[in-house]
Structure 1
Amino acid sequence: MTRGPRRLLIAVNPYASFGRNRWVGPAVAERLADEGYEVALLREENFELLRRETQSAFEQGTDGLVVVGGDGMVSMGVNILARTGVPLGVVGAGTGNDFARALGLPHEQPEAGIDALVEALKRPPQTIDLGLVHHGELRTWFACVLSAGFDAVVNERANRMVRPRGPSRYTLALVRELATFRPRRYVMTLDGAHRAQSAMLVSIANTPSLGGGMRIVPHADLSDGLLDVFIVHPLSRLGLISVFPRVFAGEHVDHPAVEFVRARRVRLEADGIVAYADGERIGALPIEVEVVPGALSVFA
């Protein structure tokens, strides 16, 4: 190392990628210790307990927090570190890893992710924007995308399902929702401008992708001080099915039903829609979302 030992917390999701990557957390701790860092490894079987233990350890002092897992772990880290100046490091070991993608970090091979983290720790941290959700009296930070439409409804159904286990549960939830989903009526306020319209999907993006590489806003920029609102206007079920595969490659941007709007502050209102941010449940609309430039420091 070029700048001497530094204290790092390493928080690990043992269920990342449905338990297939349990080895990654200990491997990260061993590698960083070999590099001369002072490390504390945090692992708990219960996610809420892990969050509490990580918050407690952070309050005792650290020079950085490294999360090992997917975007759920990123969400935990972001909500602990936002506006503190303490940097976040990420080793993508989950199923989606969209935050790692956005930072240009390895997102499919944890071994490469560990190497990238070691190199990033040798450089000054970068700062990026975050989204801040106001939901009643609650405040929740997010790094990637807030969903408030068809994709959020699918997520809500999947979370209620007991079977099947694994990614196929979301595919089944999507198929079931397609059978009955209809456009919803939204009232939006974008930087003070009001509009009411029907839409299939409304997402507020800070990064290009969600859902493991679905590039809903290919041009999203982590440091432009703006949020990108992605709107899919009313479509038939067949039309929606035809658009979705194109989204993975970012080839939907010229579709006539697709609209992008940039804003610093967004209010969303709609009946029967529950918002999700970085895959974590926020709650039923209405919500207000604002961008906070430079709110997070990252090792990248």
Structure 2
Amino acid sequence: MPNPLTIVVAINPSASFGKSRSVGPAVVARLRAAGHRVTSLQEPDFAHLVEAAALAVAQTPDALVVVGGDGMVSLGVNLLATTDVPLGIIPSGTGNDMARGLGIPVGDPDAAVDALLESLARAPRAIDAGRIHHLDADGRPQTTWFACVLSAGFDAIVNERANNLRRPRGKSRYLVALAIELARLKPIRYRLVLDGVETVTDAALIAVGNNQSIGGGMRVTPDAVVDDGLFDVLVVTPLSRLAFLRVFPRVFAGTHLTDPRVTVHRATTVRIEAESVAAYADGERVSLLPVDIEMVPGALRILA
């Protein structure tokens, strides 16, 4: 048996009553059965979980394992970026895009725990992360980290709309938001600065990818590599509603890059400006634009 490790497991509070409610306790049980010292964090809400996880990470455990979707990954990335504490991921959320891009089994928690236990016996993998500089609602400077994809176009607008809808609940709320915003689809005027080179352009979608997908498998930046020190910056020029509906399904397969209205740039620093558009990173709202994003190579240690 390997030397026992001190592991903190943070469990998504919203999974307490859902179909994934048994995943967190099962992860804790298997890690303890493997001989590890485990602290299980099960808090009543996300804010309390962030606070508890921050206190636990301050004690420099051997690993932080998050159980949930990309929101939980975002929690882990923002606590662990530039530290020596590695992040483990047991995907049990809706999107699970970060886990998917890292090759962690999705839809099979037992297999994900198997992979985690194997990873604990090896040195962690170093991957890149993006550091976002932005302002909060009161105009104060803030820093937010992401490891998967930042979006600041039509998909972010749909996310914003869905978050503001009271009904319906679940995935159907996103579909309603998509229908509403598709009816209002219009070009967005952006000022985009990539590694110091400025472009002013109209676009329907801009995404900055360190990993490949958003929204549960939409491969917006299919060629992105998590440890190459570069962002893949996707720009989709304005589309009619009909053209959008034709291109959109190709995103899931990652074949949209052959469309002449789609371009990908590679950069280490990105500034995005636009009026009344919010940026979302790893599925979580960051702030309204503008945002400044910098690539930090090897900023995150991953158990994968």
Q: TM-score range by the shorter chain?
A: over 0.9
Q: Contact 2:131–2:146 (CA<8 Å) still a contact in 1?
A: yes
> What one-letter code is carried by the residue in structure 2 that aligns with 1:214?
M
What is the DSSP-based 3-state SS (H/G/I as helix, E as strand, rest coil) of the residue aligned with 2:104?
Answer: coil
Indicate how the Cα distance of structure 1 residues 160 and 18 shifts in structure 2: closer, same or farther if over 3 A, else same. farther
1:67 aligns with 2:75: no
Q: Contact 1:17–1:93 (CA<8 Å) still a contact in 2?
A: no
> Which range moved further: 15-24 or 234-243?
15-24
**Equivalent residue for 1:245?**
249
Cα deviation, residue 18, structure 1: 7.7
**Equivalent residue for 1:205?**
209
| Percent of aligned pairs with the same amino acid | 55
What is the DSSP-based 3-state SS (H/G/I as helix, E as strand, rest coil) of the residue aligned with 1:202?
Answer: strand
Q: Contact 1:14–1:22 (CA<8 Å) still a contact in 2?
A: no
Cα deviation, residue 110, structure 1: 1.3
Match of 1:284 among 281, 288, 300: 288
1:1-300 correspondence runs (5 A): 1-2=1-2, 4-16=3-15, 19-136=18-135, 137-300=141-304
> What one-letter code is carried by the residue in structure 1 that aligns with 2:42?
R
Once residues 73 and 291 of structure 2 are traced to their aligned partners in structure 1, the CA distance between those partners, rounded to angstroms, is: 21
> Which range moved further: 219-228 or 56-65?
56-65
Give CA deviations for 1:187-216 in whole Å, capped at 9, x if unaligned: 011000010000000010000111101011
Give CA deviations for 1:8-31 in whole Å, capped at 9, x if unaligned: 000000324982101011000000
> What one-letter code is carried by the residue in structure 1 that aligns with 2:168?
P
**Equivalent residue for 2:138?**
none
What is the DSSP-based 3-state SS (H/G/I as helix, E as strand, rest coil) of the residue aligned with 2:83?
Answer: coil
Once residues 181 and 156 of structure 1 are traced to their aligned partners in structure 2, the CA distance between those partners, rounded to angstroms, is: 14
Q: How many residues align?
A: 299
Give the TM-score of the pair, scaled to structure 2. 0.97
Once residues 155 and 241 of structure 1 are traced to their aligned partners in structure 2, the CA distance between those partners, rounded to angstroms, is: 18
What is the DSSP-based 3-state SS (H/G/I as helix, E as strand, rest coil) of the residue aligned with 1:36?
Answer: coil
What is the DSSP-based 3-state SS (H/G/I as helix, E as strand, rest coil) of the residue aligned with 1:253?
Answer: helix
Cα deviation, residue 272, structure 1: 1.5
Q: Which runs of 5+ in 1 are unaligned?
A: none
What is the DSSP-based 3-state SS (H/G/I as helix, E as strand, rest coil) of the residue aligned with 1:19?
Answer: coil
What is the DSSP-based 3-state SS (H/G/I as helix, E as strand, rest coil) of the residue aligned with 1:156?
Answer: helix
> What one-letter code is carried by the residue in structure 2 that aligns with 1:260?
V
Once residues 217 and 15 of structure 2 are traced to their aligned partners in structure 1, the CA distance between those partners, rounded to angstroms, is: 17
Once residues 60 and 105 of structure 1 are traced to their aligned partners in structure 2, the CA distance between those partners, rounded to angstroms, is: 27
Once residues 56 and 6 of structure 1 are traced to their aligned partners in structure 2, the CA distance between those partners, rounded to angstroms, is: 18
Q: Contact 2:13–2:46 (CA<8 Å) still a contact in 1?
A: no
What is the DSSP-based 3-state SS (H/G/I as helix, E as strand, rest coil) of the residue aligned with 2:13?
Answer: coil
Once residues 238 and 273 of structure 2 are traced to their aligned partners in structure 1, the CA distance between those partners, rounded to angstroms, is: 17
Q: Contact 1:13–1:43 (CA<8 Å) still a contact in 2?
A: yes
What is the DSSP-based 3-state SS (H/G/I as helix, E as strand, rest coil) of the residue aligned with 1:15?
Answer: helix
Indicate how the Cα distance of structure 1 residues 251 and 18 shifts in structure 2: closer, same or farther if over 3 A, else same. farther
